[in-house]
Amino acid sequence: MKEQLTQNTILLDGKVTSAAIKLELATEVATLISQGKRAPHLCAILVGNNGASETYVASKVKNCAEVGFKSSLIRYDLSVSEEELLGKIQEINDDSGIDGLIVQLPLPDHFNVQRITEAISPLKDVDGFHPLNLGRMVQNLPAFLPATPYGILLMIEHYKIETSGKHCVVLGRSNIVGMPMSILLSRNAYPGNCTVTLCHSKTKDLEEILKSADIIIAALGKAEFLRANMVKEGAVVIDVGITRVKSDKTKSGFKIVGDVNFEEVAPHCSYISPVPGGVGLMTIVGLLKNTLTAYHHE
């Protein structure tokens, strides 16, 4: 069932889409267990107690349980040394009972993030951050795709959105979302075959470029940046932003908003993803799917 927001706008519902894919994963895991095999196992390393990271990692652990995966959470306090962390990563790389390993980012400043990223075995790199996986992705070879772009592809696929020949504008060039998203949507594949424009802080004539987009992926991390005057009638808008802003309408005094001014933009779209309840839920599905792939690599 597609939720119709207005006469012409369909909501890209992360709850419904992630639930459908998680059901497929849970069914596959149940079959593996009934055959006497072990469950897929994801290990997460969390350093410190950054509030957002705590929330993300807790959600990853909960979602593993929901599909029947085993998960381990290894916590370190801020004083852990890079050498100690690298030692633990090596131990997990060598542990045949663990399929996927993620180190939650951001790490405290005294860590060399690149060194940590490259220490994770590419075969267990279910975040898809290792240069080997990114390189394979660029060459359209089998690879672990970064979880958020992968989740967005799964969402586009679920709603059977046409992408071939479309002009896709990606807002933001982060290593985790914007950069890989721009490459994935320009690949000769479905979803893909888009003509992609990657926009960033130095882009000129941004509004004009956005106005010509059939598909907009907003991943620049600026609350409610995208307004109605920047969007073509009938565009597909996918919102990756997650910003906590003050609100006098919630008990907590905060609310989560995306990079898109939803109320203003939604009536002009053919499809739009909400925040919360959109891409965030799909990111976890991307991670779970990568973990199952890692399991099958054995």
Of positions 18, 63, 104, 133, contacts ligand GUN by CB under 6 A: 104
Which span (27-35, 103-111, 131-139, 207-215) binds ligand GUN, by CB under 6 A? Answer: 103-111
- Confirm whether 104 is a catalytic residue: yes
User: Residue 226 carries which DSSP code?
Assistant: B
Q: How many whole angstroms separate alpha carbon 20 and alpha carbon 23? A: 5
CB of 102 to ligand GUN, least distance (A): 4
Instruction: Annotate 110-143 with b (16+ C-beta within 10 A) or e (fewer).
Output: ebeeeebbebbbbbbbbbbbbeebbebbeeeeeb
Residue whose CB is less far from ligand GUN, 11 or 101:
101
Contact between 270 and 131 (Cβ < 8 Å): no
Name the active-site residue from 127, 214, 239, 259.
127
Of positions 102, 120, 134, 285, contacts ligand GUN by CB under 6 A: 102
Contact between 271 and 161 (Cβ < 8 Å): yes
- Confirm whether 7 is a catalytic residue: no
Please name the amino acid found at residue 117: T
- Does the protein bind ligand GUN through residue 147 (CB under 6 A)? yes
Which span (12-20, 97-105, 191-199, 234-242) binds ligand GUN, by CB under 6 A? Answer: 97-105
| Angle, helix 14-34 to helix 279-297, in steps of 10 degrees | 20
- Confirm whether 77 is a catalytic residue: no
- Does the protein bind ligand GUN through residue 105 (CB under 6 A)? yes
Residue 156 CA, chain-centre distance (Å), reads 13
Q: One symbol per residue from 26 to 65: x for binding ligand GUN (CB under 6 A), - otherwise; what is it?
A: ----------------------------------------
Of 176, 180, 170, nearest in space to 106 by CA: 176
Q: One symbol per residue from 165 to 184: x for binding ligand GUN (CB under 6 A), - otherwise; what is it?
A: -----------x--------
Of 223, 153, 165, 167, nearest in space to 196 by CA: 167
Residue that has been written with the tokens 């898109």 in this structure: 260
Which span (18-26, 99-107, 133-141, 197-205) binds ligand GUN, by CB under 6 A? Answer: 99-107
| Angle, helix 14-34 to helix 147-158, in steps of 10 degrees | 100
- Does the protein bind ligand GUN through residue 239 (CB under 6 A)? no
Q: How many whole angstroms separate alpha carbon 209 and alpha carbon 198? A: 10
Q: Considering CB under 6 A, how many residues would be counted as binding ligand GUN?
A: 7
Which residue minimizes CB distance to ligand GUN? Answer: 105
Residue whose CB is less far from ligand GUN, 146 or 274:
146
Q: How many whole angstroms separate alpha carbon 220 and alpha carbon 37? A: 42
SS3 152: helix
Q: Catalytic residue numbers? A: 60, 104, 127
In the complex, which residues of this chain contact ligand GUN (CB under 6 A)?
102-105, 127, 147, 176
